[in-house]
Structure 1
Amino acid sequence: MNFKKLAKMAVIIIASVALLSACGSSTRGSSASKSTSPSLKKGDLIGISMPTKADQRWNVDGANLVKDLKKAGFKTKIEYANNSPSQQSNDINNLVSAGAKAIIVAAVDGTAVGPAVEQAKSQGDIVIAYDRLIMNTKAVDYYVTFDLERTGILEANTIINKLDLKGNGGKTKPLNIALFAGSDDDNNAPYFFKGAWDLLKPYFESGQLVDPSGLVTKDTTDADWKKISVHAWDQNQAQKQMDAFMTKLSQKPLAAVLSPYDAISLGVMKSIKNARPDMSPSTPFSASNPDNKSAWPVITGQDGMDIGITNIKFGAQAQTVFKNVALLANKTTSILTQIADDKKPKSTDAPMSNGKKDVPTWLLKSDELVKNPTGDQKGLHYEVEVGFITEKQYQKDIAAPIIK
């Protein structure tokens, strides 16, 4: 065999090997991509991880998700984490092991749950952060929640209007106020505080509002919200923090309490009644008589809990920001249905950053419930009208004893 023929044969062999290698590489790459890319079809199992059964809110959310997802043709399995981050991580792992193709997570701790959803994502699961954003991980596909700042805005406006701060309220003598934020491990909490503080801060700067505890001043910023946070949104913890506030307040009048949650509001009320039995909801605070030490403060709330309805009915609470969580379940089911139909879900809302990724986000609208609705406000019966509670439960709520 001459040299030219030998060289030509070598080129052919090398080219053939390269072609086979390229084909093999392409095949392996395609296989790896397929094993990690999300896939979903009707009839698949959807895992649902809720924080706790102890709160009315999460029981309703869980039931709504199960109902809507089953109606859409999916199977479901739901776990409640007893407000334990470690249990929730185990729950998520167990849901994936059970064959779930998508995981819906309302996080107990938005950071602690990160490794568990990363493990789920590595198995090809779709991950939806429900109500609370999962932080510092790329393993979140979608986020469904309510307009986070709107709650704070609605509550702050209630206080501003009730205390006549745009008029003469607090201009002659500063009005005392206590402020609370949500749990220090919940990403929603700082947004609530920002919505409220943007509106209330000018009245601290003008001297119309003052916090006797010193935790909030005119120099407070949005970033300082953890100073007044209530861990795990816990009623008992809120009561302890309010006890400390009432000690500082002493016998002075109290105009208002900014509370981000009905259970926190209840803890606040119990503290007030223990420290100052002279104060009564039958004598609501009035900006025209700010020196009345026995007047009951304007107290806000959120979530439309049964106790919130009771306390609003009897004048102990001024309002609650009600989130029709059926809308969250509807939107979450819609997203998964679109994926199963090979469509890409799209939101008109801006994505939210979790520190590692801009997560596609859907923001839903909450409503303010009050005793006597005006304008955009809604009455307490609205919860029955949208199916959040039954008429029987509503009648029980409005007949219940105050500040249980």
Structure 2
Amino acid sequence: MKRSVFTLTLIAAALGLTACGKKEEAPVAAPAAPVAAPAPAVLVGLAIPETHVERWVGDAEYMKKDLEAMGYKVDVAFADADQSKQNKQIEDMVTKGAKVIVVGSVTEAAAQAVESAKAAGVPVISYDRLITGTDAYDYYLTFDNFKVGQLQGEAIKAGLALDTAKGKNITLFAGSPTDNNARFFFDGAMDVLKPYVTSGALKICGPAPTNSADDTWSKITTEGWAADKAKARMETLLSGACKSVKLDAVLAPNDTLARSIIGALEQDGKYKTLPIITGQDGELLSAKWIMEGKQTMTVFKDTRVLAKGTAEAVDSIIKGTAPALTVKARTDTTTYNTGKKVVTSFLLEPVAVTKDNLTKELVDSGFYTAEAVAKGTK
């Protein structure tokens, strides 16, 4: 009996040693689930009309930055003021798979490409310039262009003290006849100035339309907003229709044209003191000239805000909703008619800038540095 117990004890001990000596195997990990590739970024197209007007380069940069911050891929194309080229660029954006295309058009012939984009299921937003002759888009973002002109007119009115003055001389320039905004700018300015033309306080040298519907309006337009054309026309006026008068003011629709007009005036020995000269866009060299007293004023349109609002509209449309903007804009559903329909428009406020408030509006706002304004270049 004792032997049996001893034997069992030995067997149990051996089994215990065997168990203690056996290595425990680590559990086999389950295979990892495959990592899904990130979804490709949604493409947005920006069709920009030109680069010879400084502001358009900035518009593209601001929109691209805002859209990329939202996670979008952005395709930017500059048309070099060639509508046929821009139409091809828009078609290319559709082919690349753009989900929305923002178009700052060159001319009304952009309508063809806009309609092709709509047929392909790609919405278009009209940016700053109304695309006429089509009903193939729903939204337009810009500044209050009529007010831009009013601010220019008010600057001339105040500078010439037209409420009490008599016989002041002015000549008129307008923007490109293919840009619908040019009509709003001019009509806004003449909304202020026409009463003084009627009273005789203001005399127009050269063609004298009082609104853009006048037959003579085309004679004061500047095809393609081209500076060389504005300078050539100013030179013709100085040697012709305006030779016998001293101009007190020039209605210039934007800064690029204002500077070219100033160039022509400076070449004329009569103008040791320059007349009042308006502008628009808050371009850097014009800011310098305003501080130096060469250009009287500009109308500042903070394109950073317009770009942000446009990026927000793009984001809303891609997400299947109507544009929801955080920027301050007035919604207008009655004014902007393409000839085929009235487009819902979002209008931002422009600001008149003179030497007195230039630092506040252009420098303190962060749009330019004081050093850049002093140099007239970045």
TM-score over 0.5 for the pair: yes
Residue of structure 2 equivalent to 1:102: 100
The whole-number CA distance in structure 1 between the counterparts of 2:193 and 2:370 is 36
TM-superposed deviation, 1:42: 9.5
1:62 aligns with 2:60: yes
Normalised by the size of structure 1, how large is the TM-score?
A: 0.78
| Aligned AA (1:348) | T
Q: Deviation per CA, 1:373-402: give whole Å up to 9, x if none.
A: 3xxxxx24522333433444223229x9xx
- Please state if 1:226 is matched with 2:218: yes
- In structure 2, the CA distance between the partners of 1:51 and 1:180, relative to structure 1 (3 Å rule), is same
Give the drift of 1:257.
Answer: 0.5
| 1:171-210 equivalence runs, <5 A | 174-210=167-203
Do structure 1's residue 260 and structure 2's residue 260 form an aligned pair?
no
Instruction: Name the counterpart of 1:316.
Output: 294
Are residues 221 and 51 of structure 1, via their aligned partners in 2, closer, same or farther at CA, if it must alter by over 3 Å? closer
1:54-77 residue CA offsets vs partner (Å, 9 max, x unmatched): 222011000001000011121111
1:244 paired to 2:236: yes
Over the aligned positions, Cα root-mean-square deviation in angstroms equals: 1.9
The answer to whether the aligner puts 1:118 opposite 2:115 as a matched pair is yes
Find the structure with the greater CA-based Rg: 2
Quick one: distance in 2 between partners of 1:262 and 1:368? 13
Give the corresponding residue for 1:338. Answer: 316
Which of 237, 260, 269 aligns to 2:262? It is 269
Contact persistence 1:60–1:388 (CA under 8 A): no
**Where do 5+ consecutive residues of structure 2 fail to align?**
1-38, 325-329
Identity of matched residues, % = 36
The one-letter amino acid paired with 2:302 is N
Maintained 8 Å contact 1:197/1:222: no
* Kept in 2: contact 1:42–1:340 (CA 8 A): no
Aligned to 2:26: none
Larger CA deviation: 62-71 vs 200-209: 200-209
Question: Are the counterparts in 2 of residues 300 and 319 from structure 1 also a CA contact under 8 Å?
Answer: yes
Equivalent AA in structure 2 for residue 147 of structure 1 = D
Could you list the structure 1 runs, at least 4 aligned residues long, displaced by more than 6 angstroms after superposition: none
Deviations 1:97-140 (A, max 9, x none): 1111110000011x111111111111111100000011111111
Equivalence for 2:154: 157
Shift of 1:278: 3.9
How far residue 96 of structure 1 moved from its aligned partner, in angstroms, is 0.9
Aligned twin of 1:53: 51
> Closer, same or farther in 2 for the Cα pair 1:42/1:127, shift >3 Å?
farther
Q: 2:331 aligns with which of 342, 348, 351?
A: 348
Which residue of the other structure, out of 70, 91, 94, is the alignment partner of 1:93? Answer: 91
User: Which consecutive residues of structure 1, in runs of 5 or more, have no partner in the other structure?
Assistant: 1-40, 282-295, 374-378
What TM-score, normalized by structure 2, do the two folds share? 0.83
Amino acid at match of 2:87: S
Shift of 1:349: 2.2
Count residues with an aligned counterpart: 331
Taking the aligned partners of 2:370 and 2:159, their CA distance within structure 1 comes to 30
Amino acid at match of 2:131: I
**Which digits, 9 at most, give the CA deviation of each residue in 1:30-82, with x for residues without a partner?**
xxxxxxxxxxx993100000012222201100000100001112111100001
Q: Is the 8 A contact 1:319 1:369 kept in 2?
A: yes
Residue identity matched to 1:204: V
Counterpart AA for 1:330: K
